[in-house]
Amino acid sequence: METESPDWLRLQKALAVEAERGFTDLMGKQYRFSEFLCLEFGKPPATLIPIERRRWQEMANKFARYPDFPLEERQHLVAETRRFLHQVQQSSNKQIQEQTRENREQYTIENPNYKAPLTAPLVQSNVGVSLDQQLSHLPDVGVRKSGYLAKLGLQTVRDILFYYPRDHIDYARQVNICELEAGETVTVVGTVKRCTCFSSPKNQKLTIFQVVLKDRTGQITLSRFFAGNRYSNRGWQEGQKSRYPVGTIVAASGLVKKSQYGITLEEPQMEVLAHPGDTIDSMSIGRVVPVYALTEGVAADMVRSAVIAALPAAKQLKDPLPAALRDGYGLMKLPEAIANIHFPPDSAAKEAARRRLVFDEFFYLQLGFLMRRQAQRQKQASAILAPRGKLIEQFHKVLPFKLTNAQQRVLNDILNDLQSSSPMNRLVQGDVGSGKTVVAVIAILAAIQSGYQAALMAPTEVLAEQHYRKLVGWFNLLHLPVELLTGSTKTAKRREIHSQLETGELPLLVGTHALIQDKVNFHKLGLVVIDEQHRFGVEQRALLQQKGEQPHVLTMTATPIPRTLALTVHGDLDVSQIDELPPGRQTIHTTVLTGRERTNAYDLIRREIVQGRQAYIVLPLIEESEKLDVRSAVEEHQRLSESIFPQFQVGLLHGRMTSAEKDEAINLFRDNQTQIIVSTTVIEVGVDVPNATVMLIENAERFGLSQLHQLRGRVGRGSHQSYCLLMSSSKTADARYRLNVLEQSQDGFFIAEMDMRLRGPGQVLGTRQSGVQDLALASLVEDQEVLNIARDAAEKVILQDKKLEQHPLMKAALDYRYQRLMGGAILT
């Protein structure tokens, strides 16, 4: 219900008296102070402009809570109200009426069925708002609210403009009451038939508000529930009823829900309209409503109202993208995109805005990668390596097999890079058993025969030793020395290695993080090979590169990642894929089992061991956890040894064992002195036992698909048929679906793509990689097309303007975004 003009004098007098008496919520003749203000603000004047009407209605809600406020908040509310009333009273009634008339003429709807009342524009003319202005200086925010917004890292107008919603709720579609269907978000417009607000007979602390709306097609009962003593006072309840008198036109938005009492709207948002074709001024009714990430003490409407206050400044944003580039890729202008990502008029505008802003996130990321790669290529490398020579020829002769076409293709890429004076920075992706190590060895030999040294760094001692064993076998045939340096290397041996490195006697050093210690100094390092590179931190990889003067860098991973993820994380790398397995590799039979089928798994293990084979049993934990219902390695090892396989030797391997203990466990298993090894994921990479044919993984649903595929790769390395058994106790459909992917596919790249779709890029990569988790809007799963065109656009820009001298706005945006997104860190 609206009034023509409130009693300004009476309102101001009530506020003044309350202030004089110490903000005690004075009791008047009929109402308490808070009840009186709640009632008065429940009747907004008809002359108010939309932004003032919203604040007027907010005041009613605030004074309903006034009795529960501490003294400081009461003082603040009374002062704020007095200022607001003075501002409204001093406004020109004539100008306000004229503005209201123009707005209504602009948005009047001629449809007599009231199908789509348009919402009024939320952005009011806010003269003087600038991008770098503090939010506390905005009239609709103020010091108190800005303090809450600071919890979200929002200090300036620019900050909040680029604080994108995490989601939107579409209330823009208006329907007749008879057309309501459960599960939809809609808006209905109807006439109030009845309105009640009362305390529940069963619980006096529960207040029930109900309004019955009807249109020409039917009627609907809308309910809201308020828990707490503050809502049970008579003044507040009467104030609610007075806002929706019989005959009033109301717009209501919400999620349609079907209950035992019929169709209704869940937690409906409602606004009183002056007439059926009136504009809707609410931030959350009849429009696409933004949903922001919040924190304690920060309400959704607080963020929305601050965004609305800041939106006029969006026009000041200068678009760094040239018009030709925007038009070429069908992109919205930046100021328009910012406005429409917050409060779009419809879903189409929201999607167009999102596409532009997602493009920006990917574009500047790719632009930074390309500029970094360009800078790397301009550096003069000390190593120009020969792709042909006696060592490589001899190696091909001693190899008992021929390289696959995929290996040869990737090797050609590497050897071409090594001939350049620009340092190579290439990532080789290959599935388990695809032969990455052989390709890396040929690159190492190219460095050695050219007079340089090489280093191969692996993330674990197990994997480093595995590489060392393989390289020793090959290098002995070539009469070349190779050494292993890990945390377990004895002091005397360590000194010997350091000395041989500095003199240049040692051409190749294999090791773990020990390679990046200060005492490790190469005489002439020409090539760095990093295996399972995603397991190293940014600084660790950079430190190894600094052991030489711009050495070539070859990184390898047996955990393939989808192209979109590779572009986002390794955009400054050249990526090669070994997408072909050597001939003779057998398919590993993979089966998902439940707890009831455990005996079948044990029977298979027994049959294989009787035939001379061996088995892995992998568990996610070392020791039993009270919180997680999963089998532990230590407990399971004891159970299997004593109860299930007493006739066999059962070994144990986990990450808390010393290096000597790990070596002993692996060597015993490698020599078939233990037929079963119970292990954690420490055997994920590096353990190569061709005689092992069974991999049993307990609680398989707790692992990522790529990790399961890696574990599966520990078997099937010999000539015998191998098996992978995925034991799962989970009954969820999602878990079963994920594990079925492993049952149906042996393709690591496909599995990695599915892993990213099911778990998200952050979990696939782990937390060490920067950048991916920080993308505000972009999704590597849903926005692959935008990523591809952003990469294409970035390549075109760099091709024409290598240093962005012709694009100063773009250069400034890149510097700002790149430092903020990547933290200035070198990814690769």
Structure tokens at 499: 């000395």
In angstroms, the CA 664 to CA 661 distance is 5
pLDDT of residue 820: 59
Residue 388: CB atoms within 10 Å = 10
Instruction: Name the burial class of residue 336, with classes exposed (0-12), middle (13-18) and buried (19+) by CB atoms within 10 angstroms of its CB.
Output: middle
Q: Are 191 and 248 in contact (CB under 8 A)?
A: yes
How far is residue 42's CA from residue 1's CA, in Å, rounded to a whole number? 8
Number of H helices and number of E strands within the chain? 28, 20
Cα separation, 697 vs 699, in Å, equals 7
**Is there a contact between 557 and 533 (Cβ–Cβ < 8 Å)?**
yes
Token output for 189:
């417009």
Distance from C-alpha of 158 to C-alpha of 550, rounded to nearest angstrom: 41
**498: number of Cβ within 10 Å:** 17
Calpha distance 169→185 (Å, rounded): 7
Strand 218-227 and strand 206-215: the pairing is: antiparallel
Neighbouring-strand partners of residue 255: 185, 266
Task: Say if pTM beats, i.e. exceeds, 0.85.
Answer: no
For residues 672 and 373, give the distance between their C-alpha atoms in angstroms, rounded to a whole number: 48
CATH no. of 390-419+435-557: 3.40.50.300
- Closest C-alpha to 112, from 281, 271, 278, 277: 277
Separation CA 343–CA 353 (nearest Å): 10
The residue ranges of DSSP E strands in 63-217, in sequence order, are 167-170, 185-199, 206-215
Cβ contact 184:257 at 8 Å: no
CA–CA gap between residue 612 and residue 605 (Å, rounded) = 11
Order the strands of the 425-430 sheet from edge to edge. 482-485, 508-511, 453-457, 525-531, 552-557, 425-430, 574-578
CB 254 within 8 A of CB 267: yes
Q: Percent helix, strand and coil across the chain, each rounded to 5?
A: 45, 15, 35
34 with 235: CB under 8 angstroms? yes
| Unique residue bearing structure tokens 């607001």 | 84
Characterize the bridge pairing of strands 589-593 and 723-727: parallel
Query: Pairing state of beta strands 589-593 and 676-679?
Result: unpaired
CATH of domain 589-745: 3.40.50.300
- CA quadruple 297, 298, 302, 306: dihedral, nearest 10: 130
Beta-carbon contacts of 627 under 8 Å, excluding residues fewer than 6 positions away, are none
Specify the amino acid at residue 627. Answer: K
Helix axes 659-670, 461-477, angle to 10 degrees: 60
pLDDT along the chain (828 residues), means of 10: 64 79 81 86 76 80 87 81 75 44 38 44 62 87 88 90 86 85 88 93 90 93 89 87 88 87 87 71 71 81 88 92 93 94 87 94 87 73 73 88 90 89 84 85 92 90 86 91 91 92 93 86 90 66 76 83 66 78 79 90 95 92 56 84 93 84 88 92 74 93 84 85 91 84 82 73 48 64 83 92 90 79 40
Residues 6+ apart with CB under 8 A from 513: 457, 487, 540
pLDDT of 197 reads 93
CA-based radius of gyration for the chain: 35
The answer regarding whether domain 167-291 maps to CATH 3.40.50.2300 reads no
pLDDT at 563: 63
- Both structure tokens of 312: 């006029």
Q: In what order do the strands lie in the sheet with 650-653?
A: 589-593, 723-727, 692-697, 614-618, 676-679, 650-653
Distance, in Å, from the CA atom of 607 to the CA atom of 613, rounded to the nearest integer, reads: 9
Structure tokens at 184: 């939809």
Q: Which residues contact 645 (CB under 8 A, 6 or more apart)?
A: 602, 605, 606, 675, 676
Both tokens of residue 220?
A: 């609907």
One-letter amino acid identity for 752? Answer: A
* Residue 241: CB atoms within 10 Å: 16
* 354 phi/psi in degrees, rounded to 5: -60, -40
Taking phi over 0 as left and psi of -120 to 50 as alpha, with beta for the rest, 426 belongs to beta
